A and B are shown apart, each in its own frame.
Chain A
Amino acid sequence: MAAPPAPLSLSASALSARVRLAAPASRAAAARRRGPMVVRAKIREIFMPALSSTMTEGKIVSWTAAEGDRVSKGDAVVVVESDKADMDVETFYDGIVAVVLVPAGESAPVGAPIALLAESDEDVALALAQAQTLSSGQPSSPPSDAAAPPAPPPPAEAPVAAPAPVGAGTKGIATPQAKKLAKQHRVDLAKVTGTGQFGRITPADVEAAAGIQPKTKVACTPAAAAPVAAPSAKAVPQAAVLPPVPGATVVPFTAMQAAVSKNMVESLSVPTFRVGYPILTDKLDALYEKVKPKGVTMTVLLAKAAAMALAQYPVVYASCRDGSSFTYNSSINIAVAVAIDGGLITPVLEQADKLDIYLLSQKWKELVKKARAKQLQPNEYNSGTFTLSNLGMFGVDRFDAILPPGQGAIMAVGASKPTVVADKDGFFSVKNKMLVNVTADHRIVYGADLAAFLQTFAKIIEDPESLTL
């Protein structure tokens, strides 16, 4: 390396043509503000620079500017690895880093957009929209899905937001690592309750809010006391992997699928048990017919019923975080499993016991829309304290659900089917019956708890008038 690698300047070029084509809203917005004659690109692409004549693609070592950061001309925004050294790459323009298209650790071909720079706060939304367009409209996008979704990989089912066992942390002081994590996972610190000393927000609080399993902290105790069992388990499944059958195609997990896989494997460490319950739904079905025109779905009715029953059994929506205590959650947040293209996500109906079914329905509609567009914010999919999974619409009559880490119980609902039932006097009749099956963490929820909860739930379903109150 004869020439010193002076910080390179980055070619962030105005992408006016594409902006206009891809995002007409941009033009409209510009027109509104600047008059019809002036159409200026508000969003600029930051390209993978060519750091040498032979370079064809570059790897992002790290982003020195994060999404949402305001940068000015000449600031280093990204570190790109070349064959010999990491080089700082500077921006030519002032603006806000709206979207990072190629996260750190991934590569992009020279000239490919790696981030979008918005001129002002208002343009950030446009940039987000453009990022979507870029990701869908560029079939020849760089390897490993360079047009990554703006949000961090959403863990499909995630532990609950941290409760506040300590005195409310009013000051909102966050530790250095907590701040870093919050930025990384886009967690709004103002909404995180600190559980650390003096009510400060700890990294664990942020991770909980972002739905990440907290890593074990450095054990400041004699080494012998450190837990050994859990991590050593990792090696085992790897060894057992068989080579694929010839001709098979290997498709790596997407981030979401990886999160699902991780959560499912983690669930193996929780001792669960299941309790089933038959429930007659004639009255519920009748109610459903009545409220359906008002936009209420069966999912919402079931969630509401579950929430009302849960209100009487706090232990069922508690969680066991450390194997030695109950963590009672402050609100009943019903996570509902939704299958989306290539994955599974659990939008959360927060405080389902407190809102009426119409409000809940409205909320649910928004959540589903966002989920399909992959735009859910972390707190919208990881704050659940109880999960509902319904496969009834497929005709499934009963199934088992796997308990998501961090929750106390999950309810699996089958289809309601006409069934011959005998009443207590021995008279036969045909009623609509559905089977629900609840999986729970037996460290905190015992059989009797679950049975009592199910009994209450069944009562609400079988006499559903209270749902409309």
Chain B
Amino acid sequence: MFSTAMSLSTAAVVAGGAVRPDAIRPADLRFCGLRREALGIRLLSASPQAAAAAKRKVLAAAATGNGAAGSGGFDYDLVIIGAGVGGHGAALHAVEKGLKTAIIEGDVVGGTCVNRGCVPSKALLAVSGRMRELQDEHHMKSLGLQVSSSGYDRQSVADHANNLASKIRSNLTNSMKSLGVDILTGFGTVVGKQKVRYGKVGFPDNEITARNIIIATGSVPFVPKGIEIDGKTVFTSDHALKLESVPDWIAIVGSGYIGLEFSDVYTALGSEVTFVEALDQLMPGFDPEIAKLAQRILINPRKIDYHTGVFASKITPAKNGKPVLIELIDAKTKEHKETLEVDAALIATGRAPFTKGLGLENMNVVTQRGFIPVDERMQVMDADGNAVPNLYCIGDANGKLMLAHAASAQGISVVEQISGKDNILNHLSIPAACFTHPEISMVGLTEPQAREQADQEGFEISVVKTSFKANTKALAENEGDGIAKMIYRPDTGEILGVHILGLHAADLIHEASNAIALGTRVQDIKLVVHAHPTLSEVLDELFKAAKVTGIPQAVSEPVAA
């Protein structure tokens, strides 16, 4: 389900909060990445293979000092192609593990997240959140506030987003430089086993050798055929984040994370929005109940309408005094349904991997719809289904979970392995968030996914919900909209999924994602204490509401730590 979701929106949980320029020590920087502590966890499911794998990797474990010359005649212990959030996370962790590391970047350090994704979009969303609040007379009045008028200057808003991106970008660059990561400029190509060339496109003049190679080239916005991008009236998130205009009426093609966040921005800035969604429901990636409530809170009361079950088969930019024309066809019958006339169209139909020119053919690797096939350890698989030694791929390029912090987590997992410690990342413990107002966040399975799994594996699931309406802090803020929902196994107390829609949901999810990552059970977490009054009590109540019926008799099975 996440193949249509992307890195745009997600990782700024850390990016927004962690940067305190006055207190930066380069070694502490972690942008859009998971904290290393959260990833050192070896998962239970990995343990049977762990011993064998560790043996396998023993030879590979580099024992060199921080930044020392690569061992065994290699220029580097690790070369990372692509300095996005995934590559950055991997590089920093590699240095910590004592690997001599280089990172190759052909564009700008920071990749999509920092330059064209999560980071600038958070700046725009910060503005939209405040605008929304200031414009909500009823809300202001109920707090006793009087606001005479609200307005904004588009260019200043755009500058805010741009400044934030460049600040984070330079922080990222400095953090790698100060740790001694070599930043090599150019496009990298794998020319053979443990061999990479880089340089300008078509002139890969420099060749280096590396014990291990990580491909972390990320993705670009996906534009379906028939859609003509002009960058002014028909554009992707790349252009939209520059906020060069605020159209009166914009169609957003795709109602996933990106589309939803931009609808929040545009409606707050005064635009009207029309969603075009190919599936029958808006927000198809979300838990259906959350999507339904989100529609009630984020779509229905706003200046938004939508067409579902339709494809935008042709989009023509505005020209010759004509508006943007969007031809809609039925997603099933392919019959023409309607032509929309709008001022602008944002194409948010997902992201496509950026994997051309990597020299994968040299390694007998065939991409699948552009994605590089990998195994559960992110090791690249060749055309015959065998793992290619010393070659890994992380992040959007492998398509496993297209989120900035997932890429970083995968990178750290790879570094753990090549340093001799087997590690398999549990993707179900990776949280995702959509930074609308209020926010949406989730981790693990949706209710239908959990039910399917329960049917297949023959266990029961239970669902509990709590409401922000019952939370003191949320009511104090006059932001009682929203729910939290947990899907769990009543027999074992295992948490399968948590979904939150409400104030600061993106910040609240980590208690649940950490519990899933660490294997904490409901019966244990319900006993921990939450400060009162805080929003975290929404989750506290959720855990407390859950009933664990049969705690299994741990006779022969080892109980999870």
A residues neighboring B (CB under 8 Å): 1-2, 4-5, 62, 64, 79, 84-86, 88, 171, 173, 175-177, 179-180, 196-198, 200, 203, 216-223, 225-228, 231-232, 235
- A399–B322 Cα distance when bound, in Å, is 53
B35 contacts partner chain A, Cβ-Cβ < 8 Å: no
Residues on A with beta carbons closer than 8 Å to the beta carbon of B150: 218-219, 223, 226
Contacts A85-B465, A225-B151; is A173 near B545 (CB within 8 Å)?
A: no
- A232–B303 Cα distance when bound, in Å, is 26
Shortest CB distance A228–B (Å): 5
Residues on A with beta carbons closer than 8 Å to the beta carbon of B303: 175-177, 180, 203
B135 to A235, Cβ gap below 8 A? no
- A324–B522 Cα distance when bound, in Å, is 66
Shortest CB distance A61–B (Å): 9
Interface centre among B246, B300, B469 (most CB of A within 10 A): B469
B154 contacts partner chain A, Cβ-Cβ < 8 Å: yes
Question: Which of B44-52, B267-275, B327-335 lines the interface with chain A?
Answer: B267-275
Residue of A2, A219, A225 near B547 (CB, 8 A) is: A2
B272 to A218, Cβ gap below 8 A? no
Residue of A197, A218, A225, A227 near B343 (CB, 8 A) is: A197
A176 to B272, Cβ gap below 8 A? yes
Residue of B273, B341, B469, B483 near A200 (CB, 8 A) is: B341
A228 to B148, Cβ gap below 8 A? yes
Residues on B with beta carbons closer than 8 Å to the beta carbon of A223: 149-153
B151 to A176, Cβ gap below 8 A? no
A175 to B323, Cβ gap below 8 A? no
- A217–B467 Cα distance when bound, in Å, is 33
Residues on A with beta carbons closer than 8 Å to the beta carbon of B545: 1-2
Shortest CB distance B297–A (Å): 10
- A100–B464 Cα distance when bound, in Å, is 33
Residues on A with beta carbons closer than 8 Å to the beta carbon of B248: 175, 196-197
B residues neighboring A (CB under 8 Å): 131, 135, 146, 148-154, 246, 248-249, 268-270, 272-274, 292, 296, 300, 303-305, 322-323, 341, 343, 463-467, 469-470, 483, 545, 547
- A200–B340 Cα distance when bound, in Å, is 12
Ordered by A's residue number, 29 sampled pairs between the chains whose C-beta atoms are within 8 Å are A1-B466, A1-B467, A5-B465, A62-B300, A84-B469, A84-B470, A85-B465, A85-B483, A175-B248, A175-B272, A175-B303, A179-B305, A197-B248, A197-B343, A198-B341, A203-B303, A216-B149, A218-B151, A219-B150, A219-B151, A221-B151, A223-B151, A223-B153, A225-B151, A226-B150, A228-B149, A231-B148, A231-B149, A232-B148
List the 8 closest pairs (A to B, CB-CB), nearest first: A218-B270, A176-B305, A219-B151, A177-B303, A223-B151, A85-B467, A226-B151, A226-B149
Shortest CB distance A183–B (Å): 10
Residues on A with beta carbons closer than 8 Å to the beta carbon of B272: 175-177, 203
Residues on A with beta carbons closer than 8 Å to the beta carbon of B270: 217-218, 220
Contacts A176-B303, A232-B148; is A222 near B135 (CB within 8 Å)?
A: no
Shortest CB distance B495–A (Å): 16
Q: Which secondary structure dominates where chain B touches chain A?
A: mixed
Residues on B with beta carbons closer than 8 Å to the beta carbon of A176: 249, 272-274, 303-305
A-B contacts besides A1-B464, A4-B464, A220-B152, 19 pairs, CB < 8 Å? A2-B464, A4-B463, A85-B469, A85-B470, A171-B341, A176-B249, A176-B272, A176-B304, A197-B323, A198-B322, A200-B249, A203-B303, A217-B270, A218-B131, A219-B150, A220-B151, A223-B152, A228-B149, A232-B148
- A177–B303 Cα distance when bound, in Å, is 5
Interface centre among B246, B248, B249, B322 (most CB of A within 10 A): B249
Shortest CB distance B268–A (Å): 8
Interface centre among A177, A203, A222, A227 (most CB of B within 10 A): A177
Determine the residue in chain A with the shortest Cβ distance to B465.
A4
Residues on A with beta carbons closer than 8 Å to the beta carbon of B467: 1, 84-86
Residues on A with beta carbons closer than 8 Å to the beta carbon of B465: 1, 4-5, 85
- A177–B469 Cα distance when bound, in Å, is 28
Determine the residue in chain A with the shortest Cβ distance to B447.
A4
- A279–B355 Cα distance when bound, in Å, is 88
- A231–B304 Cα distance when bound, in Å, is 26
Residues on A with beta carbons closer than 8 Å to the beta carbon of B268: 218
- A227–B343 Cα distance when bound, in Å, is 27
Residues on A with beta carbons closer than 8 Å to the beta carbon of B149: 216, 219, 223, 226-228, 231
Residue of B249, B296, B305 near A79 (CB, 8 A) is: B296
- A227–B149 Cα distance when bound, in Å, is 7
Determine the residue in chain B with the shortest Cβ distance to A229.
B148
Shortest CB distance A134–B (Å): 28
Residues on B with beta carbons closer than 8 Å to the beta carbon of A232: 148
Contacts A223-B151, A226-B149; is A218 near B300 (CB within 8 Å)?
A: no
Shortest CB distance A450–B (Å): 35
- A196–B247 Cα distance when bound, in Å, is 13
Residues on B with beta carbons closer than 8 Å to the beta carbon of A219: 149-152
Determine the residue in chain A with the shortest Cβ distance to B249.
A175
Shortest CB distance B200–A (Å): 41
A218 to B274, Cβ gap below 8 A? no
Residues on B with beta carbons closer than 8 Å to the beta carbon of A197: 248, 323, 343
- A364–B55 Cα distance when bound, in Å, is 97
Residues on A with beta carbons closer than 8 Å to the beta carbon of B154: 220
Shortest CB distance A366–B (Å): 35
Interface centre among B146, B149, B272, B467 (most CB of A within 10 A): B149
- A171–B338 Cα distance when bound, in Å, is 13
Shortest CB distance A82–B (Å): 9
- A5–B463 Cα distance when bound, in Å, is 10
Determine the residue in chain B with the shortest Cβ distance to A235.
B146
- A112–B417 Cα distance when bound, in Å, is 66
Residues on B with beta carbons closer than 8 Å to the beta carbon of A79: 296
Residues on A with beta carbons closer than 8 Å to the beta carbon of B464: 1-2, 4
- A179–B303 Cα distance when bound, in Å, is 9
- A55–B42 Cα distance when bound, in Å, is 50
B153 to A221, Cβ gap below 8 A? yes
Residues on B with beta carbons closer than 8 Å to the beta carbon of A171: 341
Shortest CB distance B407–A (Å): 35
Shortest CB distance A60–B (Å): 13
